Amino acid sequence: MKLFPAIALTFTLFFSLRAHESPWTASRPDGHGPISVMGDHMHAIGEWMISYRYMTMDMEGLLKGSNSVTGSSQLTGMTTMVPTKMTMDMHMFGTMYAISNEWTLMGMLNYLDNDMEMIMPMNMSMNMGSSGIGDFKVAGLYDLAQWDSGRRMHLNLGLSLPTGSIDEKHTNGNILGYRMQLGSGTYDFHPAVTYLAQTDNYSYGAQLGSVLRIGENDQDYSLGNKFCASLWGARIVTDSLSASAKLNYSSRSEVDGEDTRMMKMMSPALNPNSQGQDITTFGLGLNYYFQNGGLKGHRLAVEWETPIAQKVNGVQIELDSTWTLGWQYAW
């Protein structure tokens, strides 16, 4: 958590930042945050937005704490399956509607597609997959403050419902590990606070949020709570294009309790103590906003993120990169 004081200081600087002389506006390419940030903006009363995001996370190699280890070095004792590679693809469908100037409502449904490669003794390996809908999320964004100088702040109050399966199995009938499950199995509270600032050619944003699991799921465990801090800045390149840079820190605890259907000694993927991590990523993105013609109101965006520091609980696969592509349309 050495990063936390640095992040706190930067937030303080943000609040004292002098922006420009007109109110904050969404009508510019950087009027929306980098595409991986959820609930970054609000809408004016009566406005609708629909969106689709495709996110793909590539993981390869193994970390023990913050050190790289080989997969084969972990095949000891009763451990006979070690994950070495994973791809998580997510299709995210979202909608937003502003019921007033104070409240914007949001709904989001994900479709996930996971693929994991495990190595076993005697150079054998195995591929496993899971796919299906994730946890449906609803949220209300509440306008906390708006200043004439292009700054504003809002509160995010989100709740995810346990619509994603926690019973995903391999083709041989064995239950898959925690990361391969599609949902948390619990109702989760997603509070956050978001701060936005604009100058003529630049914009800044910060979001502090968390995911708090409510109770335990029907297998008597809960995924770790999550804390997340994001800071980003963007520059307008043309009237329609902006480029962004983002720092994101997230911390997730290990699994509380355990899924007793999993033989936890067999693989780190099945071990509740090998879940959760602290990760800091750096991201670069582009937002494109169609302001005229037949595509007026449409937005396209892309963002690439890569870890600059990663520390896992126990032994876990290492994140290489995340790509997010998105389309948004507001009217």
DSSP state of 255: P
Applying CB under 5 A, which part among 42-50, 152-160, 208-216, 272-280 lies near Cu ion? 42-50
Report in angstroms how near the CB of residue 32 gets to Cu ion at its nearest.
7
In the bound state with Cu ion, the residue whose beta carbon lies nearer, of 74 and 328, is 328
| Contact (CB, 8 A) for 284 and 243 | yes
In the bound state with Cu ion, the residue whose beta carbon lies nearer, of 202 and 329, is 329
In the bound state with Cu ion, the residue whose beta carbon lies nearer, of 49 and 116, is 49
Report in angstroms how near the CB of residue 157 gets to Cu ion at its nearest.
16
In the bound state with Cu ion, the residue whose beta carbon lies nearer, of 55 and 96, is 96
Phi, psi angles (nearest 5°) of residue 54: -115, 125
In the bound state with Cu ion, the residue whose beta carbon lies nearer, of 49 and 88, is 49
* Nearest-CB residue for Cu ion: 49
Please select the residue that binds Cu ion; options are 7, 35, 49, 231, rule is CB under 5 A: 49
Residue among 45, 1, 39 nearest 193 (CA): 39
Distances (CA, A) of 331 to 106, 121, 239, 298: 15, 57, 19, 9
Give me the torsion for CA of 191, 311, 116, 124, rounded to 10°: -160
x/- mask, Cu ion, residues 79-118, rule CB under 5 A, reads -----------------x----------------------
Report in angstroms how near the CB of residue 128 gets to Cu ion at its nearest.
36
In the bound state with Cu ion, the residue whose beta carbon lies nearer, of 38 and 116, is 38
Q: What b-and-e string marks burial along 295-314, b requiring 16 or more CB atoms within 10 Å of the CB?
A: eeebbbbbbebebeebebbb
Report in angstroms how near the CB of residue 287 gets to Cu ion at its nearest.
13
Report in angstroms how near the CB of residue 92 gets to Cu ion at its nearest.
13
The residue count for binding Cu ion (CB under 5 A) is 2
Does 255 interact with Cu ion (rule: CB under 5 A)? Answer: no
Distances (CA, A) of 93 to 74, 163, 318, 326: 39, 15, 27, 10
Distances (CA, A) of 95 to 48, 144, 158, 328: 7, 21, 14, 9
Q: For binding to Cu ion (CB under 5 A), which residues are involved? A: 49, 96
